[in-house]
Structure 1
Amino acid sequence: MGKSLTLPNSSGSTYEYTAGNFGSVDGPKGNFKSRIAFSAAHVVADPLAATDPVSNSQIDWDSTLSYRRHLWSHGFAVAEAMDTAQRGMGLSYEMAKELIKRSAAEARTVNGRIACGAGTDHLTPHPAVKLEDVEAAYEEQCAFVQDQNAQIILMASRALAQCAQGPEDYERIYGNILRQVSSPVILHWLGDMFDPSLSGYWGFKNLDNAMEVCLNVIWDNKDKVDGVKISLLDAEREIEMRRLLPKGIKMYTGDDFNYAELIQGDEKGFSHALLGIFDAIAPAASAALHAMDDGDLARYNSLLEKTVPLSRHIFQKPTFSYKTGIVFMSYLNGHQSHFRMIGGAESARSIVHLSDLFTLADKAGLLSDPEQAAERMKLVLNLAGIRQEGMVSGKL
């Protein structure tokens, strides 16, 4: 009852779809043993805030923190105030500080692992910005994260990408910051498909040269580096880089296209994970990682291979709009009462994209309550002018 919908397709016509024929994955609870798995977490906007939703969005703190408890309960560590939380893309640094403070406190109440992004986003890139300004900005944000007793994720800097004259500037800034931190950090190499402002990071547009600079930074400061997360959507490059890391330095995959095989690894090693897609597929990813802990690679692969089409869809170009799909999944699954985002980012994907997301999530067993998800999807479809028959009230 209530699970049949009229969905649009890319040709401009519609078709009928009935949800709930593929079952739902119920991920087990508890921590993982064989891999470290961070989920970058999204933020929930306050839809009732009497402020401009584009320039001055507010956060619904209860729903935002509740979602982090959901992730911790499934065994994930939380990567806070990253691009999945719309950091620098709707989430200001002042909001990010409050988010880090509240999430770190919440982590302590549930004994959950948390790492938080430290960057330079309170420093607006402009021609007058100097390397000294970038270094001071990094120092300020790293100190704040450390004050919350959270691990640092050292984020890529738009300001550094603009003012650096070459690879030696990256090595200088990163070296100076890493020498000051009190405990090992996770470096984050975010590709320009996620943030075009980071084009040419590490001083080179050629990725082979850029990787060499990043590796130099890690080798020169290996006592202060826990691992590196690369988000380049290039599995071969990630494998190459993880084989060149110093012993004990972890590779955290940020590849939302090829995560299943990268986490499984090969005879020479494997990647841990720090992924935005885990926010959307937490139950299935948790079940898969617990299966890996049990040595059941067949079940691991069976569970994750069903999620890959959904992930590739959510992260399709323009890749930086993936946050819309992540939040839409949260809405469909009842973790928030609305589909509104900070910065008005709910408008970043088409109704056809969201409809395809719905069917892919259903086929992957990622609609926890297909009837509720269908009713919520109908509301969105009706708003887009695609009339739905048989809408029922309740469970919204």
Structure 2
Amino acid sequence: MTIRLPRPGGALHTYEPRAEPLAPAPGAPLASRTVFSAAHVVADPYADVPPGAPAAVDWDATLAFRRHLWSHGLGVAEAMDTAQRGMGLDWAGAAELIRRSAAEARAAGGRIACGAGTDQLTAGSLAEVRAAYEEQLAVVEESGAQAVLMASRALAGAASGPEDYLEVYGHLLRQAAEPVILHWLGPMFDPALEGYWGADDLDAATETFLEIIAAHPDKVDGVKVSLLDAGREIALRRALPDGVRCYTGDDFHYPELIAGDDQGFSHALLGIFDPLGPLAAEAVRVLDTGDAEGFRRLLDPTVELSRHLFAPPTRFYKTGVVLLAWLAGHQDHFAMVGGLQSARSLPHLARAYELADDLGLFPDPKLAEERMKNLLAVYGVNQ
């Protein structure tokens, strides 16, 4: 069987899907690296949600996907940007997601870390930003999950310089019950975060970031760096205090960063490990044996797909992630919170299907082919 797929210029080409999936089996927790998959939420496609209304979530499908990730030994990074925080999922929905997923993690014996931010606010004073962070941190800690202090649009708007970041983050770290993960999300993921840490210059921003960590090393488990700059991440992780981990959020260079070098390596907290979950876990198990080359052989071929999904405007990578979850059979529809299934073009989605199929990511390649043909038919592409 073949499928006709559109190219960016409008022409169709014929693709022959693979017959057999790669199908890595579930396995034990990972040993040499701590690896989180930032998981997407599954929208309720039958909910009558007007524009701008709170998101309707299919909780059964959303939690089932998290059990799928845990079964392969991955941790789940919950209520992060992959879950459409700030792009359709409001704080009330995120709080419910945190509570439900943390309870599910306890039942499944899975590791979970949850994002705490300030998305109750569109803007506010520094005092209001602190209070918003405190509210969300309390929800995460009360759920029993580890906290990820997310970058804040409201703080970026309220801060007048590095000293405001030092004050706000210092205040939060002093009261955190357990060590947290600090999240540095670059403006390619969220343009409102331009100039975070009080400077447009990344060297100056890094100095402030490191100053915050150095002042509270016992309250920082690690840092998640999402700047899509491997060299900068490596320099940062070498500058971290002993015992503070670097969790790569670089969806362009993750194989080399996780494999590391003779001076260290990165752990991982990645959106691309949503569709790559089973394969990523299998690769890290190979790395656990000391076989770095085998790890790279498994994971390097996935970078083309990741770079495609995270192509500019990068913040819309979520559309490709949800497409692949539907094609893989993890949900029954291709609908997204806020209607973001329309955020990428048909040629972009077709290429995502082709790259994922070539990697063997679909447990049932025939189902994926049929669903992709149904999507193409909606756009008028007849087979």
Both proteins in one fold, TM over 0.5: yes
1:155 to 150, 155, 160: 150
User: What whole-Å deviation, never above 9, does each CA across 1:303-325 have from its counterpart, x for those lacking one?
Assistant: 10111100000000000000001
CA distance in 2, matches of 1:19, 1:246: 48
Structure 1 range deviating more: 363-372 or 151-160: 363-372
Conserved 8 A contact 1:306-1:363: no
Corresponding residue for 1:118?
Answer: 116
Q: Which residue number corresponds to residue 34 of structure 2?
A: 36
Asked if 2 retains the 8 angstrom alpha-carbon contact of 1:120 and 1:138, the reply is yes
For each residue in 1:106-149, what CA deviation from the matched residue of structure 2 results, as whole angstroms up to 9, or x when unmatched? 00001111010001100122xxx211111111111111111111
Residues 310, 360 of structure 1: 8 Å contact kept = yes
User: 2:100 corresponds to which residue?
Assistant: 102
Assess if the C-alpha contact under 8 Å between 1:332 and 1:376 holds in 2: yes
Q: What secondary structure, in the 3-state scheme, does the structure 2 residue paired with 1:189 have?
A: strand
Question: 226, 235, 238: which is aligned to 1:231?
Answer: 226
1:280 pairs, out of 257, 275, 298, with: 275
CA distance in 2, matches of 1:57, 1:91: 6
Name 1:393's counterpart in structure 2.
Answer: none
Moved more, 367-376 or 78-87: 367-376
> What is the alpha-carbon distance in structure 1 between the residues aligned to residue 173 and residue 184 of structure 2?
15
Shift, 1:297, TM fit: 2.2
Q: Which residue of 1 aligns with 2:128?
A: 133
Are residue 267 (structure 1) and residue 265 (structure 2) matched? no
Query: 345, 358, 364: which is aligned to 2:353?
Result: 358
Q: Which runs of 5+ in 1 are unaligned?
A: 389-396
Give a deviation string over 1:167-205, Cα, whole Å, max 9, x none: 000000000110001110000000000000000000001
Contact 1:285 1:304 in 2 (8 A): yes
Give runs of aligned pairs for residues 234-253 of structure 1, distance below 5 A: 234-253=229-248
Matches of 2:11 and 2:197, distance apart in 1: 46
TM superposition shift of 1:56: 3.4
Cα distance in 2 for partners of 1:198, 1:53 equals 25
SS in 1 for 2:47: coil
Aligned pairs for 1:55-94 (under 5 A) are: 55-94=53-92
- Counterparts of 2:324 and 2:298, CA distance in 1: 18
Task: Give, as a single letter, the amino acid of the residue that structure 2 aligns with 1:111.
Answer: G
Change (3 A) 1:212 1:53: same
What code does the residue aligned with 1:379 have?
N
Does structure 1 conserve the Cα–Cα contact (< 8 Å) formed by 2:149 and 2:183?
yes
SS of residue paired to 2:331: coil
Residue identity (%)? 57
Question: Residue 27 of structure 1: CA displacement?
Answer: 4.0
CA distance in 2, matches of 1:94, 1:232: 28
Cα deviation digits, residues 269-298 of structure 1 (max 9, x gap) = 000000000001112101101111122223
Conserved? CA contact 1:20–1:370, under 8 Å: yes
Amino acid at match of 1:80: E
Question: What TM-score, normalized to structure 2?
Answer: 0.98
Distance apart, 1:22 and its partner CA: 6.8
What amino acid does structure 2 have at the position aligned with 1:166?
A: G
Q: CA deviation at 1:88?
A: 1.1
Alignment: residue pair count: 383
2:372 is equivalent to residue 381 of structure 1: no
In 2, Cα distance between equivalents of 1:4 and 1:56: 40
Name the structure 1 match of 2:319. 324
- The equivalent of 1:49 in structure 2 is 47
TM-score (norm 1): 0.95
Aligned mates of 2:375, 2:18 — CA distance in 1: 18
Higher mean alpha-carbon deviation, 54-63 vs 134-143, is at 54-63
AA partner of residue 56 (structure 2): Q
Alpha-carbon distance in structure 1 between the residues aligned to 2:257 and 2:52: 37
2:253 to 241, 254, 258: 258
Compared CA separation, residues 27 and 213, structure 1 to 2 (3 A): farther
Describe how 1:295-374 pairs up with structure 2 within 5 A.
295-374=290-369
Q: Unaligned stretches of 5+ in structure 2?
A: none
Structure 2: distance between partners of 1:348 and 1:55: 18
Aligned AA for 2:89?
A: L
User: Secondary structure of 1:278's match?
Assistant: coil
Supply the distance in 1 between the matched residues of 2:173 and 2:307 (Cα, whole angstroms).
34
Deviations 1:74-132 (A, max 9, x none): 1111100000000111000000000000000000001111010001100122xxx2111
The answer to whether the Cα contact below 8 Å between 1:28 and 1:290 also exists between their aligned partners in 2 is no
Q: Which secondary structure does the structure 2 equivalent of 1:153 belong to?
A: strand
Task: Give the CA deviation at 1:212.
Answer: 0.6
1:143 aligns with 2:138: yes
